[in-house]
Amino acid sequence: MINNKEKVHSNGAILLGEQVEVDGYYGRQARIITHFHSDHTKGLSYSARKARSIIATTPTIEALEVLNVKLPKEKIIALEYNTPLNLVGEKVSLLYSKHVFGSAQVLVEKDNGDREGYTSDFKLPGTIIMRDLDTLVIDATYGSPDMTRWFKKEIEGILVDFISSLLSYGYPVTIYAYYGKMQEIMEIIRRYGLAVPFIMPRKVYELTKISVRHGLRINDYFDESTEEAFDIIKSNWFIRFLHYNSRGEHIKSTGMYHVYVTGWVFDKPIKEINYDGWRYIVGFSDHADFEDTLYYVEEANPKNLVIDCTRTTVDIAKRFMKEVKKRKPSINIEISPSAPAKVIPEED
């Protein structure tokens, strides 16, 4: 039996109940993938060989296929939200998480009545808060009090207004973001009524199709290699979406505005880079900041809290533990593992 200090393995695997490993490899019977970001798919090739089942939501499974993550089809279980799956001595459920399309939290209920949950990456509002837990494993990527975005409630409108203002100068805009966050931004732009075509590489196009199939409201998006996209590009009236990691390839490009979207901005929503008028950073995140992470814990009020220290630093985890203890002294808190090999969060 795993104690709370060992709930998180140094490779990032979250260990729930006796059968389940989440977002990392540990050699258990069931591997759960909470979402398709690469820092949560570590060790999948090992799990694919050793585990009896690979469990995720349907959008996550479809996205992984587009991202060329190979899984044995006979082991895949597409699990809908709030649908318990019986394992030996326990049952597992996936609960909705507002992070990227298809993302999920994990709840394991043991036959002896114990309830254990893992948030994975999430943000508020929109994520279901798991309550009545014996043990909660929480993601605390932004677990330090100085990691609070004062502008988070207004950032959607700020982002769309800024993009619209750039387009008004007659040049297109390229937005650099991670998979999943891209699609969230596309939907926000449409919700705010900005009717400009979206141009994107084939892989982003396929992921966007999946997101639309599973509920996101995005239209007028085009694979950049098509004739239709060529005609749109000639007009100079479009937004291009590229993966965040490709931003260095276009650093000297002018005649197009470049907007880099990241969660690692806390002091102001928009920053100009190099003050050349072409490159900007926008502080938009698909992660809970410090305030929202703390709010989740306060509302969940678990008996035991385990802070995942593989996707943040020990120092940040300790700061978060200190703040929780101030507000919820009755909760037993562990940082796990105490000296991790850090898994860098991909999505922000």
CATH of the domain at 329: 3.60.15.10
Count of the separate structural domains present in the chain: 2
Query: b/e string for 20-54 if b means 16 or more Cβ within 10 A?
Result: bbbbbbbebebbbbbbbbbbbbbbbebbbeebebb
Distance separating alpha carbons of residues 327 and 147, to the nearest angstrom: 18
Residues 203 and 99 occupy one common structural domain? no
Residues 8, 142 share a domain: yes
Q: What is the mean pLDDT of the chain?
A: 93
9 and 141 housed in the same domain? yes
Answer for the pair 30, 94: CB distance below 8 angstroms, yes or no.
no
Q: Note the pLDDT of residue 279.
A: 92
- Predicted local distance difference test score (pLDDT) of residue 253: 61
Does residue 270 have a pLDDT over 90?
yes
Are 23 and 135 in the same domain? Answer: yes
pLDDT at position 337 is 83
Give domain status of residue 343, yes or no.
Answer: no
Last residue of a domain, one of 240, 261, 283: 283
The answer on 314 and 295 residing in a single domain is: yes
Does residue 342 belong to any structural domain of this protein?
Answer: no
pLDDT-based confidence at 252, cuts 50/70/90? low
Q: Give me the DSSP letters along 246-277.
A: GGGGGTT--SSEEEEEES---S-SEEESTTSS
- 282-321 pLDDT, tens digit each: 999 999 999 999 999 999 999 999 999 888 889 999 999 9
* Mean pLDDT of all residues in 186-214: 98
Residue 346 falls within a domain, yes or no? Answer: no
In the prediction, which pLDDT does 336 show?
A: 86
Same domain, 202 and 68: no
* pLDDT mean over 237-244: 96
- Please state, in angstroms and rounded to a whole number, the distance separating the CA atoms of residues 172 and 238: 5
271 and 168 co-located in one domain: yes
Residue 341 has pLDDT above 60, yes or no: no
Q: Which amino acid is at 180?
A: G
Tell me if residue 75 falls in helix, strand or coil: helix
User: Model confidence at 18, in pLDDT bands (50, 70, 90)?
Assistant: very high
In a domain, 313, yes or no: yes
Residues 139-195: tens digit of each pLDDT: 999 999 999 999 999 999 999 999 999 999 999 999 999 999 999 999 999 999 999
CB under 8 Å to 347, separation ≥6 — which residues? 37, 39, 99, 100, 121, 178, 180, 181, 263, 286, 287
Residue 347 in any domain: the answer is: no
Residues 59-75 have a mean pLDDT of: 96
Domain stop point among 263, 283, 303: 283
Considering the domain boundaries, does residue 87 fall inside one?
yes
- 232 has pLDDT over 90: yes
21-31 per-position pLDDT tens digit: 999 999 999 99
Final residue before a domain boundary, out of 283, 307, 327: 283
Assess whether 319 and 274 both reside in one domain.
no
Same domain, 116 and 162: no
Q: 84-88, 205-209, 273-277: which range is least confident on average?
A: 273-277
Give the CA diameter of the chain: 64
Compute the distance between CA of residue 301 and CA of residue 305 in angstroms, rounded to an integer: 9
Q: 90 and 19: one domain?
A: yes
Q: How much is the pLDDT for 301? A: 97
Q: For a pLDDT cut of 70, what percent of the chain falls above it?
A: 94
Q: What is the pLDDT of residue 311?
A: 87
**Is the pLDDT at 338 greater than 50, yes or no?**
yes
pLDDT-derived band at 3 (thresholds 50, 70, 90) equals: confident
The domain that contains 274 carries what CATH number? 3.40.50
Poorest-confidence range of 93-102, 213-222, 227-236, 243-252?
Answer: 243-252
Is the domain of 255 the same as that of 184?
yes
pTM: 0.92
What range defines the domain where residue 330 resides? 4-146+288-336
Q: Is the pLDDT of residue 255 over 90?
A: no
pLDDT of residue 344: 47
**In this predicted model, which residue has the larger pLDDT, 277 or 207?**
207
Q: Are residues 184 and 256 in the same domain?
A: yes
